[in-house]
Amino acid sequence: MASHEVPQDYIHDSDQSSSIGVKIDATEFQEDIGNARTLRREPPPYVKSLSPEERRIAERALVRKIDFRLIPMIVIMYILNYLDRNNIAAARLAGLEDELKLHGTQYQTAVSILFVGYLLMQIPSNLFLNKLGKPRLYLPTAMVVWGTISAATAAVQSFGGLIAVRFFLGFVEAVYFPGCLYYLSAWYTRKELGFRTAMLYSGSLISGAFSGLIAAGITKNMDGTAGLRAWRWLFIIEGSITILIALVSIFVLPNFPRTTPWLNEQEKELAVWRLEEDIGEDDWVGSEEQTFWHGFKLAVKDIKMWIMMLMLFCIVASGSVTNFFPTVVQTLGYGDIASLLLTAPPYVLCVITAFFNAWHADRTGERFFHVTVPLYVAVGSFILAAATTATAPRYVAMMLMVPGVYTGYVVALGWISNTMPRPPAKRAAALAAINAVSNTSSIYASYMFPKSDGPRYVLAMSVCSATAFVAICAATVLRLILVRLNRKLDRGEWVEGAINSPSAVARDAKGVASPVIVQEGAVPAEAAASGFRFLL
């Protein structure tokens, strides 16, 4: 029997008349036999009792409740995560480089070293979060630590001290963003993820919009207060706010749908079932049932992860200009305060375009064009910025750079969970690995914006333009693969793409029940039967 065919001598316990069978993988059977769970073909009693209209109303109310409790807090937390990471750009204009006597590429090294720590921690952190199952404690605790490190940057007296705090800041901040992507994917269906991912990522865009305004206010009013330069106050104030918000978030954030105390039992049933229904498999896997590295091994074997990794790597590389945006804007010929203020409008525009693009992507269920069309705008903006020194067209280019890169980026982030939805350990590992590797581009990109290359920064703008185009090519390849896989699903065949964790009880021809392990790399048969398709 070919590996993609569906064996007929195994059917699920829950519905012998209609279930699609699955094939036992002997190599995985002993490892996973204790994990077998029954995947219900029927909804739980409360959900089953609802009419379609009642279900629609109940689900809408549930999603609103989840949104209200979850989204505002994680957005505020991400604003501060991004602010603490990137306020060094504003600190540079506020005197950091001069007071610490940085020279040559030392400032660029201080920027890039953060991403070394960021890279090292992301995968272990997400795997640990998946194992621990308590995001309401894990994420705020990490936030307290990075807020403390950020505030401690104010005490730095040398290049070596700056390097140390930046490395550890990146190491701890790595917990948050990939952790939140996994967190959201455990609460929302695939078609809801795009807009919620955009809402999360809007935190970085809002941070970019207001960091310049905050820095301008501190630089103008606090320079010399208590004998400290303005850049030191910048780190003290923003780090202290981070710690305060982290303490508040412990009392606001939930864990996961099955275990959160502010949902009643009926709401929990609906919250869990709609995710199970969305993919054809229960998303819950108890912490005792997961091996720490198993999800990572599954993700590494999936070609789609590598394509998405290339796509996200190139998008982040093209967006590296934001790490030096105040410096780039300063080439328009304005002073420090005016340059900081002029960094806000591109981010405000980006928040608007990112929200609309993600909302439309979720509404239509389409991903490819919502990722690639903004990237074409980014390519054009980088070319325009490198081609002229005239103030008006250069600022138009800068207005389009940030929206061009990040409008599609937020949809691309949601596309990861859409494309590798189950099991949770694999999804967590893929999100962390892709986010970690994509941010390695920030290490070398930090050296592409020396002041000597201003005002046009031809090399940097050329690299940003080229990487944006490569991201478009990677997205095209991914879409072609997903189209092919969906056609195989249409024919009822097994496809490469996700693994169905042991979730079924099968019966052989004599009716004897036994745990079933679905082949590595197979989309759940239940999902194929119920209409699961990859989002394009």
Given this model, what pLDDT does residue 1 score? 38
Q: Is residue 536 domain-resident?
A: no
pTM of the model: 0.72
Q: Which helix (H) or strand (E) holds 383?
A: helix 368-387
Do 408 and 511 have their domain in common? no
Strand order in the sheet with 504-507: 11-12, 504-507, 513-516
Q: For residues 446-480, b (16+ Cβ closer than 10 Å) or e, as one string?
A: bebbbeeeeeebeebbebbbebbbbbbebbeebbe
> Please, are residues 170 and 117 in contact by the beta-carbon 8 Å criterion?
yes
Do 90 and 156 have their domain in common? yes
Do 95 and 22 have their domain in common? no
- Alpha helices per DSSP H over 133-264: 135-152, 159-173, 176-185, 190-221, 230-249
What radius of gyration do the chain's Cα atoms show? 24
Do 148 and 121 have their domain in common? yes
Given this model, what pLDDT does residue 201 score? 85
Q: Is residue 435 domain-resident?
A: yes
Residue 262, classed as helix, strand or coil, is: coil
Cα separations in angstroms, 398 against 315, 335, 377, 475: 16, 17, 11, 24
Do 520 and 418 have their domain in common? no
Q: Is residue 535 domain-resident?
A: no
Do 425 and 367 have their domain in common? yes
Do 32 and 96 have their domain in common? no
DSSP string over 131-162: HH--HHHHHHHHHHHHHHHHHHGGG--SHHHH
Q: Is residue 2 domain-resident?
A: no
Do 157 and 74 have their domain in common? yes
Q: Give the range of the structural domain holding residue 26, as residue numbers without chain letter.
A: 11-45+496-530
Query: 100: closest CA among 237, 235, 232?
Result: 232
Do 40 and 56 have their domain in common? no
Number of separate domains in the chain: 2
Q: Is residue 5 domain-resident?
A: no
Q: Is residue 208 domain-resident?
A: yes
Q: Is residue 6 domain-resident?
A: no
Angle formed by the axes of helices 52-93 and 159-173, nearest 10°: 180
Query: 424: closest CA among 287, 294, 285?
Result: 285
Do 153 and 241 have their domain in common? yes
What are the beta bridge partners of residue 11? Answer: 507
Q: Is residue 24 domain-resident?
A: yes
State the CATH number of the domain containing residue 262.
Answer: 1.20.1250.20
Given this model, what pLDDT does residue 37 score? 39
**Which tokens sit at 355?**
């929200």
Do 41 and 59 have their domain in common? no
Grouped pLDDT means (10 residues each) for the chain, 536 residues: 37 34 34 37 83 91 94 95 88 88 89 88 84 88 97 95 95 92 87 86 83 83 89 94 96 88 90 80 46 75 92 92 74 76 86 92 91 96 90 88 92 85 75 85 79 83 95 96 87 58 37 39 48 76
Query: CA-to-CA distance for 370 and 407, rounded, in angstroms?
Result: 8
Do 361 and 505 have their domain in common? no
Given this model, what pLDDT does residue 468 score? 96
